[in-house]
Each structure stands twice: as C-alpha cells, then as structure tokens.
Structure 1
Amino acid sequence: MSEQQPLVVKLGGTLLESEQALNALFSTLKAFIDDSGRPLLLVHGGGVLVDNQLKAMGLTSTKKNGLRVTPFEQIPVIAGALAGTANKLLLAQAIAHEIPSVGLCLGDGGLCRVSQLDPELGAVGQIEGGDAALVSSLLAGSFLPIVSSIGITFDGKLMNVNADQAATAIAEILDADLVMLSDVSGILDGEGQLIAHLSEADAQQLMEQNVIKDGMAVKVKAALKATKTLGKPVAVGSWRHPEQLLSLLAGESGYGTRISH
C-alpha cells in the first residue's frame, strides 16, 4: 500500500441515473488506483434517486438554503435510497471493475459524529469529525470505502447529511486530498464561464451577488472549510469527462475549479 495521502472523492449529480456514466467513471477510478496506488475513498449523495422515490410514493420535497428539508417520517425512504440503492449501485460498479470495496454510511465505526442541524429542516444532520480507525484499516487493506451521506445521532436517529459536507468532514478526519465531482465542469462565474481558481474573497463576493447559490453555495462553503482545515486546495469538477478525470484527481491545473483559502 502506498504511503501517499488518501484521496476523498465526492460523487454527486445525475451520475447514478446513467449506467454508461458509472461504467466510465469506475474504469477511470480503476486506472487511477492501479497507476497511483493511492488510498481512495468515495462519498456520495443521491438526490435524484431520492426525488424519484419520494415522487413514486406521492411525497413532495423542498429545499431550504440548498439543503433538503427532511421530515422525520420521510427519513426511512431517504435512508433507503441513499444508504441502500445508491450505495449498492456504486458498490456493484466497483465489484464489476475488480475494485475491492466496502459500502458504509457515516455511522459505521463512528466515522462521523452527527446531530440535528436545524429543527426547521427535520432529520438533517450537522456533521463533525469522528473516528477514522475503521476506514483507515480498510484503506490499509487496499479496500475502497464507499460512504453514503446517511448519519446516525448518539441517540440512534437517522439523519440526512449533505454529501459535500460529509466529504469535507471525512477528508479532515483522514487529512486527505479532496475532489468534488458533480454535473458541472466546476464553479461558473456570472457569464457561465469556468473559474479556474477561486479564493475565499471571490467566493464570498459571488455568493453575495447570488451567482453562487443554493446547492452550489453549500458545496463552495464546504470546500472553503476544508481548505482551511487541510491547508491545501480543494478541486471541484465534473464526472462527465473521464478522460479529464485522471488529471483532476492527480491535482493538475487546467481542469475544474481549484478552491483555496
């Protein structure tokens, strides 16, 4: 096993709806693991699957400040979609690409401490670092941990955690590099152009101008938190271009947006 720093990759967006996209992504991840030998951990949400499941059950969903309002009566459905279906779809792809993997949630091994964020949001979790022992042992054994963004409070309640915030917390626990992958090529300015490098001051200005808003604002705030804690940039890019993904994962400039403190 390489002694290099672990790499945490957050997966999001509509990726889980496309078997072709998943296949391309995991082919790239397999090549990255084989070539670099770096310990790799995936963190994922699955908002599209959650939306589809809620709709199929005749339930509606709203968001507040980029976070999904999660009534406690809906958390079994959301946990099933994220820790169940989404997690196992990703695990199946890893197995198909001969990557030894383990499916987890934020509560396994006490990985992250989770508490209720805001009563108005319902079963939405605020996340803090926890115990890296289980995940570190898996990484040392050359396993790929695939972690869903479902957390568990100290008194045993399931919580829906924003996956960007979950990825940030896990990167901090492991002192890892962090790459966030979504539908878009990176952070875009008011003209829709890719921003190659984004500082905290520029990010604050774009959020005040409502250019960066909703879910992207949550992502950028999580990335900025990670840059401060880890003392290194966080990359935001797209899973849509696997041919660019190796360069993004390797930390090369010219791909995605690099967010720095």
Structure 2
Amino acid sequence: MAQDDSRDLLDGARTGRSTPGGVIVVKIGGGADPEAVLDEVAERAAAGRPTVLVHGGGAAADELADQLGVRREVIRSPDGTHSRRTDQPMLEVITMALLGQVKPELVSGLRARGARAVGLSGADGEMLTAKRKPAIRSVQDGRTVLIRDDRSGQIERVDPTPVQAVLARGDVPVVSPPASDAEGHLLNVDADETAARLAVALEADALVLLTDVVGVLTDPTDPSTRLPEVGPEHLDGDLVRGRMRHKVRAGLRASRTVAHVAIAAAKQDRPIRRALGGAGTFVRDGGQA
C-alpha cells in the first residue's frame, strides 16, 4: 500500500470511517485559495487516483461585473439562503468569468504541477440539463417579491459521459457551471449542487466541498464552533446560515448514495485528505433533505 493510502486509512480509523480509494469529486469555492487543492489533485493524478475538480467563481464574477458596469443583486430567500440574481447580463458575466478566467487558471495550475487537465462546463455534451426556475421568491425590505427574469436553473439530469471519458485517459476533469436547458439555452446552476449531482452520477466514493472556512460553524466568525457532523436537523432554524446552507443541502442530497461527504477548508496542507480524515464537517443522512 502506498504511504499516502496508509495515512488516509489511519485518519479514517481515528474517526471511525474508512477513507475512499475510488473516484473523489472535489469542489473548490470561488473565494477559496486553490494552491493547496491543486497540489493535492495533481498528486492524486500522478498516483492514478481519479479526481474530478468542480469549481465556482463568485468572486471573479463579482469583480468582472464591476469592471463591466453590470449591476450585482442578491436574492434573499425566505428560508435565509442567499444567491446571486442572474438576469441575462449577469449570466453572461458569470459565463465569461468561469469559462474565461477561473477554469483556465485551474487547468494551467494543474499542468504546471505535471497533471493533464481538461476543462468542461455543464453545458458540454449535455452533461447537466437544467430547468429554468419560472419565479424566485426574494425578501426585499421586509416584503417577499417574485423575480421572473432570473436565468438560473435546477439540475434535472446528469450525463457523466464527458467526465468519464476524461477520467479514462488518466486526466483531471475540471468542471463548472453553466448548464443548459432542453432547448440548449444556458442557465446558471449552483456549483455545490453540480458537484453533488456529479458525485452521485459517477458513483463516487467521496464528495469534498472545500471553502474558505474550516467547516460548518455555529458562529461564522469563530472557527472553534465547527460542527464535526451535520444532518438534516441542522437546517432547522438559523443554525446554518447564508451560503453554507447551499453546501449542506447539496451534501445531504449526495450523502444518500455517496459514502463520504465533507465540508472543509481549502487553505490547509493536503485539504482533501484532511477533510476525509475529520478536519472539517461530515455530512450525513440525506434521506430527509
């Protein structure tokens, strides 16, 4: 057994969990430092351990929107989750930022580390087919209003064939939104949900959602409040807030069939191994999500 596998199994034993050796889907948030993630993904690729890297790009999209003078708005759902309002101009900004900036940087970063990577979007090869949300509820100034021009969608179907073809060559698929609808129109979809749905479709052993915090925190400003494990009950009330609710929901849905689901910090040494060793928050029991 390779030394890295031995360490993984040791970490798994400490937490009472076996650590997976098959396909791992890793999602890195747009605001997280990618360097340590790229180091470990390249290391896994060199060892022949299949890894799919999914990325967001919110920070890059916001910066580009400001440069282009495109107005940025936030949708505040009644349940407390926040998301970016995606009208047509913002959809174009997101597409340019993810496919024209963030993805090439990640692919180039992997190549610089000796790993061959292939960039894909959810719209490539009908990988992700989504349905546009006809109306979205948003709380504005204490009132709930309906937004009807949003170009975001809910993923309805996943075809993992393009990703499987890249993995079969021993390369690293680097995947991002957008998706497309049945007529081929681009739709923005949540990157955490993209990673979760791909993990299920690929029958992955693990899903790791890497972000800029150490896991799910009861106090977002205090890393010592990290929860070692979360389930559906943690979405009741406001214990989990903001963007983290999206991650937990996505993780819960994936955990119905994916044995190992974790949320952890990207900026740490070997973040994937550490996440699966218990350094973040494990997500369990998606049956009620």
Q: TM-score, normalised by structure 1?
A: 0.87
- Counterparts of 1:244 and 1:204, CA distance in 2: 25
Corresponding residue number in structure 1 for 2:96: 80
Match of 1:195 in 2: 227
2:240 is matched with 212
Conserved? CA contact 1:112–1:169, under 8 Å: no
Aligned counterpart for 2:268 among listed residues 230, 237, 241: 241
Q: Render the CA deviation track for 1:57-115: whole Å, top value 9, x for unaligned.
A: 22221222322111113322211111221111111101111111100000112211112
Q: Which residue of 1 aligns with 2:157?
A: 129
Q: Which residue of 2 aligns with 1:179?
A: 208
Which protein shows a greater Rg?
2
Aligned residue pairs, count: 245
Residue 256 (structure 1) aligned with residue 283 (structure 2): no
User: What SS does structure 2 have at the residue aligned with 1:223?
Assistant: helix
User: Please, which runs of 5 or more residues in structure 2 have no aligned partner?
Assistant: 1-19, 76-80, 136-146
CA–CA distance in 2 between the matches of 1:55 and 1:222?
29
Deviation at residue 32 of structure 1 after TM alignment: 2.9
Aligned equivalents of 2:273, 2:259: Cα separation in 1: 19
- Write out per-residue CA displacement over residues 209-256 of structure 1, whole angstroms, 9 at most, x where no aligned residue: x2312211111111111112x1524100011112454332xx222x10
The answer on 1:53 being equivalent to 2:64 is yes
Structure 1: gaps (5+ residues): 16-20
Amino acid at match of 2:261: V
In structure 2, do the counterparts of structure 1 residues 129 and 171 end up closer, same or farther at CA, with 3 Å as the change threshold? farther
What does 1:94-109 correspond to in 2, within 5 Å?
A: 94-109=110-125
Q: Which one of 18, 26, 30 corresponds to residue 9 of structure 1? A: 26
RMSD: 1.9
Q: Tell me, in whole angstroms, the C-alpha distance in 2 between the residues paired with 1:187 and 1:118.
A: 31
On the 8 A contact 2:228/2:281 being kept in 1, the answer is yes
Q: Percent identity?
A: 28
Q: Secondary structure at the match of 1:184?
A: coil
Shift of 1:171: 0.7
State the SS of the aligned residue for 1:128: strand
Greater shift after overlay, 48-57 or 190-199? Answer: 190-199
Distance 1:257 1:226 in 2: 15
Q: 1:73 & 1:6 partners in 2: Cα distance?
A: 36
| Structure showing the higher helix proportion among its residues | 1
Shift of 1:199: 2.0
Alpha-carbon distance in 1 for matches of 2:263, 2:22 = 18
